[in-house]
Amino acid sequence: MSDITNEIKKRRTFAIISHPDAGKTTLTEKFLLYGGAINLAGSVKGRKASRHAVSDWMEIEKERGISVTSSVLQFNYDGYCINILDTPGHQDFSEDTYRTLMAADSAVMVIDGSKGVEAQTIKLFKVCVMRGIPIFTFVNKMDREANDPFELIDEIETVLGIRTCPINWPIGSGKNFKGVYDRQKETITRFYAANNGQKEVDSVEVNLGDANLDDIIGAENHRVLMDEIELLDGASDEFDLERVQAGKLSPVFFGSALTNFGVETFLRHFLDMTTTPLPRNSDVGEISPFCDDFSAFVFKIQANMNKAHRDRIAFMRICSGKFDAGMEVFHVQGNKKIRLSQPQQMMAQERHHVTEAYAGDIIGVFDPGIFSIGDTLCTAKKPFQYEGIPTFAPEHFAKVRQIDTMKRKQFIKGIEQIAQEGAIQIFQEFNTGMEEIIVGVVGVLQFDVLKFRLESEYRVEIRLEPLPYEHIRWIENDDIDVASLSVTSDTKKIKDLKGNPLLIFTHPWSIRTVEERNEGLKLSEFGRN
Ligand code: G4P
């Protein structure tokens, strides 16, 4: 096997999806700890107060003490080279969060055991399903009172529509959390709650048939466990790696990230079950990651990461071959050969200059304003283009007006550039031109980012008037007379910059009504690029 093939086979690139507070950061910290990437758990993102110190990213980020950008962490563990893509939550949830999932080969879904499946998880999950990537579930916080595990499993299956296969099973939760049962090994890992604020817990492994099990986990817990094992064996789907890798079956693990219970087992199983870098579709068919030529696509463009330079960083996912610093590549959409300068990679929280990287890795390169989201770079003799990244549905809309009408030109330039980076989407009234601009964003923070950037970079002040719409659908039919579509009173017809027609709705139920009223109308939640 060539060295390049070897390197690519070591790669595992995944995203962690969850609702804020489910424990994504804590779990990531524990993963990094195993990889030896950091010495101290707690320093992944420099959370809360210490965040300012570690981040020189956008001003707004500093002002608010939140992270606007999503990052990539790379570390080595047990012969694997692992890339974790961070998907930001809270107010900084944005289209970038979705796009990051386009660069992942699998997803780890963290669920808070006492809350079950929450809103943000559902949104991110849908994107993973669209891509057909494997999804692994970690039910976290079992050291706290949690919902009944059967109910949790049932909720994942019904709300998310994916079959599940528990790999381990919890014995109690909260004060009565006794550990987990490994269904394959038929062993129990006993959890001992930590004293004195100590965060790592002790654990001991015993066999299911151990004569002392009543003493170890308690007679009642033992009885319940035996019943539950029987129920599980009868009712749950069997483990099937092919279905897991096709994204049809989610292996489920229970544990506690904070106390580091069940984390390493999870990581090991996950690495065994997840895939090496996946092939990607292009206009000349599927491209194998092991193909000799280098290729990559841009999935994120980040403006002004470094305040000293007003420039942009284009993040790209390497899809095939090997990248060497300074190498000349063909930028397909720009129809030009270019040299990728200042390639960077994230190791834990530090940015490093990279000299080489392989399929599966993410690199950030200096962008003098030539890249757009979805662009392909390759060294193949016959250049090709990777499938575009879909446009994700914004959920907040506002009319935007510039305060000083003399600055029309800067205003249009600025707003178009920011839209090109993919931070916002801009639309127009269906029947009029650019005079009325409607901005759509996935997370409301993007409105502030837009306002701030137009002021600081383009010297244009704007006023945003929120609109009541919350749902958007792209019209997929090519041959439809949009003007004559029959819509409800809370629906608005708009178009994007390319002239594609869309509908925005205030109420979700209007979507169905409009579909019913217009036979053959095909609406989509994802826009084509
Ligand atoms: P997020 O990235 O998904 O938003 O969640 P994060 O890891 O920041 O965790 C959210 C809160 O939940 C944190 O508490 C964290 O310590 C706690 N937590 C994470 N995993 C577990 C777990 O397995 N058990 C228990 N009991 N708690 C867990 P916090 O008080 O909000 O933050 P901090 O002061 O601990 O940093």
CATH classification of the domain holding 177? 3.40.50.300
Alpha-carbon distances of 62 from 48, 67, 442, rounded to whole Å: 11, 8, 21
Closest residue by Cα to residue 137 from 247, 9, 277, 13: 247
Provide DSSP, 406-437.
GGHHHHHHHHHHHHHHTSSEEEEESSS-TTSE
Maximal CA-CA distance, the chain: 84
Query: Has residue 518 been placed in a domain?
Result: yes
Instruction: Note whether 353 and 279 are within 8 A (CB).
Output: no
Ligand 1 atom closest to 18 (CA): 3
202 is in an annotated binding site: no
Whether 31 and 158 map to the same domain: the answer is yes
**236 alpha carbon – ligand 1 mean position (Å):** 30
CATH classification of the domain holding 505? 3.30.70.3280
**To test the ligand 1 pocket, which listed residue (25, 26, 115) has its Cβ within 8 A of the most ligand atoms?**
26
Task: From first to last of the 529 residues of the chain, give the pLDDT tens digit.
Answer: 689 999 999 999 999 999 989 999 889 888 888 876 544 433 344 344 333 333 333 444 444 433 334 467 888 899 999 999 878 766 667 888 889 899 999 999 999 999 999 988 998 999 999 999 999 999 999 999 999 999 999 999 999 999 999 999 999 999 999 999 999 999 999 988 765 544 556 677 888 988 899 999 999 999 999 999 999 999 899 999 999 999 999 999 999 999 989 998 999 999 999 999 999 999 999 999 999 999 999 998 877 555 555 567 788 999 999 998 888 999 999 999 998 866 666 544 455 677 889 999 998 887 888 898 999 999 999 999 999 888 888 999 999 999 988 888 999 999 988 888 888 999 998 877 656 899 999 988 889 889 988 998 889 999 999 999 999 999 999 888 998 999 999 999 999 888 889 999 999 999 999 999 999 999 998 887 6
Whether 309 and 260 map to the same domain: the answer is no
- 3-class DSSP string for 466-490: EECCCEEEEECCCCCCHHHCCCCCC
User: What is the rounded CA–CA span in Å between residue 418 and residue 460?
Assistant: 13
Q: Is 256 in the pocket of ligand 1 (CB under 6 A)?
A: yes
Query: Has residue 391 been placed in a domain?
Result: no
Which helix H or strand E contains 282, and what residues bound it?
Answer: strand 280-282
* End residue of a domain, out of 321, 351, 378: 378
Whether 321 and 372 map to the same domain: the answer is yes
Whether 146 and 235 map to the same domain: the answer is yes
Whether 163 and 30 map to the same domain: the answer is yes
- Using CB atoms within 10 Å of the CB of residue 211, give its burial: 0 to 12 exposed, 13 to 18 middle, 19+ buried: exposed
Whether 327 and 364 map to the same domain: the answer is yes
User: What is the rounded CA–CA span in Å between residue 442 and residue 97?
Assistant: 9
Query: Has residue 389 been placed in a domain?
Result: no
Region of residue 218 (phi > 0: left; psi between -120 and 50: alpha; otherwise: beta): left
Q: Which residues contact 445 (CB under 8 A, 6 or more apart)?
A: 66, 68, 91, 92, 93, 94
The residue segments making up the domain with residue 363 are 280-378
Whether 342 and 434 map to the same domain: the answer is no
Order of all β-strands in the sheet with 350-353: 336-339, 328-331, 376-378, 295-303, 312-320, 362-367, 344-347, 350-353
Angle at CA 66, nearest 5°, toward 61 and 71? 85
User: What is the rounded CA–CA span in Å between residue 46 and residue 449?
Assistant: 22
How high is the pLDDT of residue 132? 93
Query: Has residue 357 been placed in a domain?
Result: yes
How high is the pLDDT of residue 351? 57
Q: Is 20 in the pocket of ligand 1 (CB under 6 A)?
A: yes
Q: How many folded domains does the chain comprise?
A: 3
What predicted TM-score, i.e. pTM, was given to this entire model? Answer: 0.87
Q: Is 121 in the pocket of ligand 1 (CB under 6 A)?
A: no
Query: Has residue 74 been placed in a domain?
Result: no
170 is in an annotated binding site: no
Query: Has residue 52 been placed in a domain?
Result: yes
Which helix H or strand E contains 271, and what residues bound it?
Answer: helix 263-273
Whether 261 and 343 map to the same domain: the answer is no
DSSP letter (8 states) at residue 276: S
How high is the pLDDT of residue 348? 41
How high is the pLDDT of residue 344? 62
CATH classification of the domain holding 315? 2.40.30.10
Query: Has residue 37 been placed in a domain?
Result: yes
Q: Is 25 in the pocket of ligand 1 (CB under 6 A)?
A: yes
Whether 155 and 50 map to the same domain: the answer is yes
Phi, psi of 351 (to 5 degrees): -95, 135
Whether 128 and 54 map to the same domain: the answer is yes
Whether 249 and 110 map to the same domain: the answer is yes
Whether 296 and 241 map to the same domain: the answer is no
Ligand 1 atom 15, closest CA: 23
Q: Is 87 in the pocket of ligand 1 (CB under 6 A)?
A: no
498 is in an annotated binding site: no
SS3 68: coil
* End residue of a domain, out of 240, 273, 306: 273
Structure tokens at 465: 């008037």
* End residue of a domain, out of 273, 292, 317: 273
Query: Has residue 28 been placed in a domain?
Result: yes
Sign of CA dihedral 19, 20, 22, 23: positive
- Using CB atoms within 10 Å of the CB of residue 298, give its burial: 0 to 12 exposed, 13 to 18 middle, 19+ buried: buried
Q: Is 258 in the pocket of ligand 1 (CB under 6 A)?
A: yes
